[in-house]
A and B are shown apart, each in its own frame.
Chain A
């Protein structure tokens, strides 16, 4: 332990910089939340008394949970295929997963609008095929938001799960099969439990990311669905209720930290963020 102390000096500059430009402003935000409009916990009281504050939180949680679940499901399938693919195919798969990451979230939201709107490709196609007579409400609601967010989140779900799956020794599956397990049984009793740390890590990552989503809900929600990030922006930039906005920002930060603390007990978070196991 004694030998480690010297290393701390090496990260001191970075630590100081972070404190100055990151932690100090966050502390200021925290301070505003208890100082405005009058000193005290009045803003936090609203968490329990104000229906609109509660609604924003419930809406955000609901959308984030649904998004996380769908992204994990799709991501798991994708990661599974990639993990079992040949080296050459795997590279192409990975490229296909990563390319969307580099496309601006704004562009992607607009692309979804083009596909999902009343006179969009999907509705026009379905009407032409005679499947439906009235356009489906695919966008300007929570459905649209979830579609847009899942699209954004799938790569973040795939990568940690893929890392976990590649650590599973394929011989274990062969051994299970050799001992008479069916494919399904080998998967559900051997592969799935072994890949579970990756699933939890991906879930935490996607969920935390989703909590702060701003552009996608703003563009695909049709103004009817308000998530936390947009709500904070509204309070601070337009309504000048800085205390209330800062309170929600603080709650968001605390929620993220709490999620991390809870799950750090279940899974090795260092691996999630790229550190050695």
Chain B
């Protein structure tokens, strides 16, 4: 991006300030003169403040910087959004907030963590007078303690070469090891796995929750000997690519890569995929204060960067105006494309938040037993 004249002036002013050639008062006066800061507003006191967005590393660092940070910075001069790829697990957020020195503003988290951490009083509530609920396609993406600027789905992928007479079309097929023999791949997690088991048991995706937990666990127990389990995305990709499993439940982003790479030999279906929000949360006591609400609002309100992120990382947009501007060749891979949403099931983050910790232990028991 070309630097504007104004940006250059600001940079020079900041340099003089740092070198001690002008004092803070003169700097602020200069910035107000440039029109960068509104005169007399308290924003002047927060000149060039920084907000830290935390992701899980890899290309997300770049993708989030370009598509979430940059649009906000363009609209809010004087604010800088930096990316940190530490991986904001619930445990790290908790230890940071409890230590009393929060350095993160906005974290790429999950629905279940938003509830776990929110209940423990470790998160800022989303201010829905700033963040617009109408900017997301599903109420599941606008939670009390978090909101989703992107979406993803846990989909069924299978190796077409292993099933010349037609592959599995739903979770019932996935659990049918007689009809479709071979090793299955599942995430070592309760989330999405039990939801799939519940659908395999025949419950309608429209009225899936609350899950019948004992029945789902029993269903999982039936096929556990035919399963391998992944814990991170690249691992799931590798299991499918190297033929360790003939079908799996993996994230649509990884499934997209595999389908493109193998020209469709590995194929994924949206049917009964579990649509989830990429929930961002803000740890209590964040350095950017209330401004973080504006950052989140900007991430939800701008469909174009969301579509760019879909092209770049595969993350689905959540803005209702986004699907229409997605180029034709990406529609197949967009989890929130209306045609794809129609056949998927939106994962109930609230139900999961209440039950996640307990059910995850139970699923681990089934898997490792």
Contact = CB atoms under 8 A, between A and B. Distances in A.
Interface in B343-369: 356-357, 360-361, 364-365, 367-369
A31 to B, nearest CB: 13
Nearest to A222: B228
Given A119-B243, A224-B367, 8 more contacts: A55-B369, A56-B368, A118-B243, A223-B188, A224-B227, A225-B368, A237-B92, A239-B360
A224 B368 contact: yes
A179 B49 CA distance: 87
A118 B91 contact: no
8 contacts: A51-B365, A56-B368, A223-B229, A224-B367, A224-B368, A234-B364, A239-B361, A240-B117
B244 A241 contact: no
Interface string A239-274: 111100000000000000000000000000000000
A140 interface: yes
A52 B92 CA distance: 25
Contacts of A226: 364, 368
Contacts of B230: 223
A259 B98 CA distance: 35
B242 A118 contact: yes
Nearest to B366: A52
10 smallest A-B Cβ distances: which pairs?
A223-B229, A237-B91, A223-B188, A237-B89, A222-B228, A52-B365, A239-B357, A236-B91, A226-B368, A140-B228
| Chain A residues touching B, range | 20 to 34
Contacts of A55: 365, 368-369
B125 to A, nearest CB: 19
A222 B236 CA distance: 10
B32 interface: no
B37 interface: no
Contacts of B90: 237-240
Nearest to B93: A240
A224 B361 contact: no
A241 B120 CA distance: 12
B228 A240 contact: no
A274 to B, nearest CB: 35
Interface of A: 51-52, 55-56, 59, 117-119, 140, 218, 222-226, 234, 236-242
Place the interface of chain B in its size category: 20 to 34
Nearest to A237: B91
A119 B240 CA distance: 12
Nearest to B225: A224
Contacts of B188: 223
Contacts of B360: 234, 238-239
B361 A52 contact: yes
A59 B360 CA distance: 19
Interface centre among B117, B243, B360, B364 (most CB of A within 10 A): B364
Interface string B205-235: 0000000000000000000100111110000
A226 B361 CA distance: 12
Nearest to B94: A240
Contact of B91 (A117, A140, A240): A240
Nearest to A120: B242
Contacts of A241: 357
A222 B357 contact: no
Given A119-B242, A222-B228, A240 B120 contact: yes
Nearest to A227: B368
A240 B116 contact: yes
Nearest to B369: A55
Contacts of B242: 117-119
Given A52-B361, A237-B90, A240-B90, A223 B228 contact: yes
A44 B154 CA distance: 36
Given A52-B365, A59-B368, A240-B116, A140 B244 contact: yes
